[in-house]
Amino acid sequence: MVNAITRLTRHTHRKFAAIWHLLLVAMLLAPLSANSTEQTAFKSGLDQLLSSDFNDISQGIRLISQSGDERAFDVLTMLLEGQLYVYRSENQLVTIVGENGSKPIIRPLFTDANAETETVSKRRVKRVGINNQLRGQLKTELALLNLSSPLAANRAAAVKQTLGDIDEALFSRLSEQLATEQDRTVRELIDVALAIYRLQAPGSAIDQQLAALSTLGASYQPAARIAVTQFLATEPEAALARSAESALTKLDGRVKVAELAETLFFGLSLGSVLVLAAIGLAITFGVMGVINMAHGELMMLGAYTTYVIQTLMPDHLAASIFISIPAAFVVSGLVGIGIERGVIRFLYGRPLETLLATFGISLILQQAVRSVFSPLNRSVATPEFMTGVVELNPLLSFTLNRLYIIVFCLIVFALLFFILRYTRLGIEVRAVSQNRAMARAMGVRSEWVDAMTFGLGSGIAGMAGVALSQLTNVGPNLGQAYIIDSFMVVVFGGVGNLWGTLVAGMSLGIANKLMEPWAGAVLAKILVLVFIILFIQKKPRGLFPQKGRSAEG
């Protein structure tokens, strides 16, 4: 009896062990089986792309998308962008990586950059052709793949790509995504995409269309406005038409606000350039009464200093910009001191002769630059941190380079205000500008103040040249475009007044940009000039007149 029980127990153990081994083997082979299924579907999809039949290609797109293979997105993207080819003799998918004369250089799909390439005749390769229907399918499949991305930016891009162009399958997928989506931006985009579909889908109920119009009316997406406009063109019934017109009015209002904000931003950026160009001229003109026609060329020297430093540091663009700012200040400042000591100090009290002398100096500086750098314009690269835009909403975005220039202008203004307000040089500059004779009687060396003031104003002009190099090409005539505007800013704001220069520069920049859309760039400048002439007739000393005995005399 005991032996029978022992045999039964051993037999039972062997059966359990065998079952356990089978389960273990199944568990180990399950991922391999799933992976094999993915690879089979992916390979089948690639094989379908070799066909010339659009139906086969469509089936291939579907298989690749549903395969779960990590390479699916790359294949579908290349197909959409026309980068997939069939090598006829080998009947395989290839990509073109270059050309040898007129012959393409091909590489098999999914091989690394070091894989062997082959130069073949154009007739031996054929692009995988797609039609509009397949393009729509590709966009849908790419969107579906991106909707599963862990990155919110990728999911948002996927929804944006399909706005106004979704089918029933994608509508269902977006509805499922909305239920689990956590990112606010992606949720808003999905709401707009679903609303557009409900608005345009045949057979949609009126209450669904009204809800869709309400959603679209609150959106900032350009696709929402397009959808509402197209819906109105279908002449819907009265209730829907009123709701659509109300939504369109809201959308148009947002567009106008965004356009106004963008115009004001461009006006502020132009005003910042004018302030940078004029602020150095304001203090030299205010202290010494010198009409410096070479001020634009001092800006040009600052721009060329930026170009030279960037040429010496081609691999460190960001650092070169920061080094260029003090370097341009020193270069232009020293040239300014040289001009004041060598020419201008002999011409004080003779404004016409000073104007002619500085005009001659401007021609000399222009010719010197042409001789050293040639007459051709030079391009200064923009550092990566200054490229791109800041998007506040889909209707409004600001370019980073202009935003940095506005900030740079305010920093320069603040530093100059601090120097003139709280340093010994600033106190002496204000004393000389208000009453030169009294300042000299109190022991102020007016000649030294004149030289330092001219150097300071010239140095700031050089820093303005650094800013201009990020907006336009650097050339010998760079400063000529801003010298007249600089004098207008100085006269309008009040000679020698920093706050007046800031207010005048920003005001003229905004006024120019506000008038350009309906008057044009040239007529806008003419109208601004006419306004300043009429304004000076009423207030000859500008917005913020200088105070002091010399000013009053």
Calculate the alpha carbon distances from 39 to 68, 415, 480 in Å: 9, 65, 66
The reply to whether 339 and 425 lie within a common domain is yes
What lies within 8 Å, CB to CB, of 468 at 6+ separation is 273, 299, 302, 303, 474, 478, 482
Work out the average pLDDT over 5-11: 48
The reply to whether 521 and 435 lie within a common domain is yes
The reply to whether 280 and 206 lie within a common domain is no
Greatest Cα-to-Cα distance within the chain, rounded to the nearest angstrom: 135
| Nearest alpha-carbon partner for 306 in 458, 473, 455, 452 | 473
DSSP 280-315: HHHHHHHHH----TTHHHHHHHHHHHHHHHHHH-TT
Q: Which domain-ending residue is among 192, 214, 236?
A: 236
**Confidence label for 546 from pLDDT (cuts 50, 70 and 90):** low
Work out the average pLDDT over 295-317: 89
Work out the average pLDDT over 362-368: 91
* pLDDT attached to residue 453: 84
* pLDDT attached to residue 23: 47
Calculate the alpha carbon distances from 123 to 61, 100, 103, 104, 134 in Å: 25, 15, 9, 10, 24
The reply to whether 382 and 310 lie within a common domain is yes
Work out the average pLDDT over 207-224: 88
Residue with the bigger pLDDT between 190 and 497: it is 190
- Phi and psi at 59, nearest 5°, equal -65, -35
Residue 155 falls within a domain, yes or no? yes
The reply to whether 223 and 274 lie within a common domain is no
* pLDDT attached to residue 287: 66
Distance CA 226, CA 515 (A): 28
The reply to whether 403 and 342 lie within a common domain is yes
The reply to whether 404 and 524 lie within a common domain is yes
Average pLDDT, the chain: 82
* pLDDT attached to residue 42: 82
**Confidence label for 39 from pLDDT (cuts 50, 70 and 90):** low
Q: Which domain-ending residue is among 213, 236, 259?
A: 236
Residue 347 falls within a domain, yes or no? yes
Residue 426 falls within a domain, yes or no? yes
Residue 498 falls within a domain, yes or no? yes
Work out the average pLDDT over 427-448: 78
Is the pLDDT assigned to residue 92 strictly greater than 50?
yes
The burial of 530, by beta-carbon neighbours within 10 Å (0-12 exposed, 13-18 middle, 19 or more buried), is given as exposed
The model's pLDDT over 117-137, given as tens digits with 9 standing for 90+, comes to 888 888 888 888 888 888 877
Task: Name the CA dihedral angle for 484, 488, 491, 493, rounded to a multiple of 10 degrees.
Answer: -140
Q: Which domain-ending residue is among 214, 236, 258?
A: 236
Residue 120 falls within a domain, yes or no? no
Distance CA 418, CA 412 (A): 10
Is the pLDDT assigned to residue 152 strictly greater than 80?
yes
Distance CA 79, CA 128 (A): 7
Residue 87 falls within a domain, yes or no? no
Is the pLDDT assigned to residue 540 strictly greater than 60?
yes
Residue with the bigger pLDDT between 289 and 40: it is 40
The reply to whether 161 and 285 lie within a common domain is no
Give the domain extent around 283: 267-552
* pLDDT attached to residue 543: 73
Distance CA 518, CA 31 (A): 67
Distance CA 283, CA 300 (A): 19
The reply to whether 354 and 498 lie within a common domain is yes
CB 330 within 8 A of CB 463: no
Q: How many domains does the structure of the chain reveal? A: 2
Q: Which helix (H) or strand (E) holds 85?
A: strand 85-87
The reply to whether 281 and 204 lie within a common domain is no
* pLDDT attached to residue 25: 42
Range with the largest mean pLDDT of 156-170, 200-214, 300-314, 512-526: 300-314
Distance CA 82, CA 80 (A): 6
Residue 193 falls within a domain, yes or no? yes
Q: What percent of the chain has pLDDT over 70?
A: 90
Distance CA 234, CA 364 (A): 68
**Confidence label for 411 from pLDDT (cuts 50, 70 and 90):** very high
What lies within 8 Å, CB to CB, of 292 at 6+ separation is 281, 284, 285, 344, 354, 358, 457
The reply to whether 294 and 345 lie within a common domain is yes
* pLDDT attached to residue 19: 52
Of 157-171, 243-257, 342-356, 457-471, the one with minimum mean pLDDT is: 157-171
Residue 72 falls within a domain, yes or no? no
For tokens 């040898």, the residue is: 100
The three-point CA angle 299-302-307 to 5° equals 130
**Token digits of residue 83:** 């980068």
* pLDDT attached to residue 6: 47
The model's pLDDT over 176-203, given as tens digits with 9 standing for 90+, comes to 888 888 888 888 988 988 888 888 888 7
The reply to whether 162 and 280 lie within a common domain is no
